[in-house]
């Protein structure tokens, strides 16, 4: 598996992956919605505000993640990890964890102070995230789970 930073030219490939993965797990409508989000994020990749990483097996994109810069009053570099997709054929094989680890290491190299995400703490804790309450960092929208990870 080869993991690398992706650029705008991979927009269609990334959108197709997210559409397929989320349609498979959440239904066709959700797949289209997340695919559209991934396409919009991909069209704005600048490797500063929006960073995208992809995992390839031979020439096929099998996983992808986005990190988006969050802005606060304090001069601190904070990024949100979301969304994440791994081809259904490769799920459960460590592709997602490898992508996240690669992305977090890249962010450290960029002197990023904090990375956060909203998702299952039992999964994200495997790659170093810790559970945070909304008292620490407020979610932009109401959460279905009352905590995120940082």
Residue 59 has pLDDT above 60, yes or no: yes
> In this structure, is the dihedral angle defined by the CA atoms of residues 15, 18, 21 and 22, taken in order, positive or negative?
negative
**What φ, ψ does residue 30 adopt, rounded to 5°?**
-65, -40
Structure tokens at 61: 């994109």
pTM: predicted TM-score of the whole model, two decimal places: 0.89
Query: What pLDDT sits at residue 80?
Result: 93
Confidence of residue 7 (pLDDT cuts 50, 70, 90): very high
Least confident of 70-79, 83-92, 130-139: 130-139
């Amino acid at each position: 598996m080869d993991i690398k930073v992706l650029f705008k030219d991979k927009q269609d490939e990334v959108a197709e992956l997210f559409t397929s993965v989320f349609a498979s797990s959440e239904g066709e409508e959700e797949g289209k919605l997340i695919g559209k989000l991934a396409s919009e994020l991909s069209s704005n990749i600048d490797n500063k505000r929006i960073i995208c990483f992809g995992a390839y097996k031979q020439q096929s994109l099998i996983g992808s993640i986005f990190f988006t810069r969050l802005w606060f009053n304090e001069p601190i570099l904070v990024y949100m990890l979301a969304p994440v997709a791994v081809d259904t054929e490769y799920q459960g094989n460590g592709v997602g964890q490898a992508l996240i680890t690669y992305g977090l290491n890249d962010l450290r190299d960029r002197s990023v102070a904090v990375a956060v995400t909203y998702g299952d703490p039992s999964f994200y804790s495997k790659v170093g995230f810790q559970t945070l309450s909304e008292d620490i960092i407020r979610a932009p929208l109401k959460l279905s789970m009352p905590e995120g990870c940082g």
